[in-house]
Amino acid sequence: MPQAQERPTPKTVLIVDDERALRHLLVNVLQAAGFTTLEAPDGESGLEAIRDNRPDLVLLDIGLPKMSGLDVMAAIRNLQWRPKVIVMTGDDTSETLVKAIREHAYEYILKPFGANKIIEVVERATTAPALPPIEVVSASPDWFELLVPCHFEAADRVHSFVMTLDSDLPQDVRESVGYAFRELLLNAVEWGGGLDPNQKVRIACMRTKRMLLYRIADPGPGFSPNALAHAAVSNANDSPYSHLQVREDKGLRPGGFGLLMTRQMVDELIYNEAHNEVLLIKYLDR
């Protein structure tokens, strides 16, 4: 008889929150999804549970009694066992978000959230590869600057952080800027950084009363705009889809519309001479 395959050991999630009802809800939701759970009602007991049980992931509230969530994160960085941390909070201020990123939060989720949302985030966090940390260069809400490993998973997390940082903007502005920023960031990690997580993309997000400015610099040598026959932005006006044949011939995935759509969604898109650094500018109506 063929031997039965061993089932993988369930991932352990520690829930640290002073709201008993929320802890109970999360325990039920996560256990139903196949996770093992632990609970702690405050920061001190949460840190002790991390030391004693070595969970794979921590769902951590910020406003905890005895020891704040940010203090717990700072203490985790000094431990031999450092689980990934997802910050849960109702505080959507940019100052709190920046502090969470500086303490190497894996992700930042705003309360209240639905069961499907938390399962999605937990599953992503527990299956994602181990990557070098996202480094904070500048933590001012008006000048937010990061060094990001060249990997799609890290790029998606940064996109989520940045969109939370701009949560007070009108929805249409957030959506258009968010799409453009994500497209340029994915291009930077894939083509500029070669999806090598030991390489870093430098991202700066600057905000004034009248504009948003994003600067993305990748570690690659740059590119020539004349060599983008595989992208829609290079198509002639009378042949808007000619790049699709080029992509097929090169064995590239379908697509190539990203840069063209990005230019339509922002006010200015400016590259340096080498084309390994770009400025994305969106003017705000005030």
Tens of pLDDT, residues 188-221: 999 899 999 999 999 999 988 899 999 999 999 9
The domain locations on the chain are 1-128, 129-286
User: 116 CB contacts (<8 Å, ≥6 apart)?
Assistant: none
Q: Which fold has domain 1-128?
A: Rossmann fold (3.40.50)
For the record, the structure tokens of 90 come out as: 């109702």
d(CA 130, CA 140): 27
Q: Are strands 277-283 and 211-217 parallel, antiparallel or unpaired?
A: antiparallel
pLDDT given at position 214: 94
- Strand order through the sheet with 84-89: 36-40, 12-16, 57-61, 84-89, 107-110
Report residues of the chain scoring pLDDT below 50: 232, 240, 255, 257
For the record, the structure tokens of 176 come out as: 């258009």
Sign of CA dihedral 189, 192, 195, 201: negative
Q: Are 101 and 154 in contact (CB under 8 A)?
A: no
- Global pTM reads 0.79
pLDDT given at position 225: 62
pLDDT given at position 257: 46
Q: Which fold has domain 129-286?
A: Heat Shock Protein 90 (3.30.565)
